[in-house]
Amino acid sequence: MVTTFFLSNLVTNDVTLIVIVPLTLALNVNRRDILVILEALAANAGSALIPFVNP
């Protein structure tokens, strides 16, 4: 989630999640659904720090 947070500072939320979510789904963990939700929250929080990244 930290990667998602900082990556969303560089590119838009959509691009961040398109890159990170497939990597998360490839992991062998029990609660991938919670991780995807937390990644979406981290992408939104990260992009909110720099207002000129997202349109």
Q: Which pTM does this prediction carry? A: 0.77
The predicted structure's pLDDT at residue 53: 59
* Tens digits of residue pLDDT in 25-37: 998 889 888 999 9
Q: Which residues of 17-46 are buried (b: 16+ CB within 10 A; e: fewer)?
A: beebbeebeeeeeeeeeebeeebbebbbeb
Please give the mean pLDDT across all residues of the chain: 83
The predicted structure's pLDDT at residue 55: 57
